[in-house]
Amino acid sequence: MKDLFGFLLYLIAAPVMALVGLFSHPFLMKTGKFIGRFLYILPGFGGLCRENVHAAFPEKSEKEVREIARKSLEHLLITVLEFFWIRKHPDEL
Say how many domains are in the chain. Answer: 1
Backbone phi, psi, residue 83, to 5°: -60, -45
pLDDT value of residue 93: 65
Domain range for 6: 2-85
Across 18-40, b (16+ Cβ under 10 Å) vs e yields eebeebeeeebbeebbebbeebb
Residue 62 included in any domain: yes
pLDDT value of residue 1: 63
Residue 26 included in any domain: yes
What band does 9 get if pLDDT is binned at 50, 70 and 90?
confident
What band does 69 get if pLDDT is binned at 50, 70 and 90?
very high
Residue 71 included in any domain: yes
Tens digit of each residue's pLDDT (9 = 90 or more) over 10-57: 888 888 888 998 999 999 999 999 999 999 999 888 999 999 999 999
pTM for the whole thing? 0.81
More confident residue, 91 or 53: 53
Residue 91 included in any domain: no
User: How far apart, in Å, do the first and last CA atoms of the chain sit?
Assistant: 38
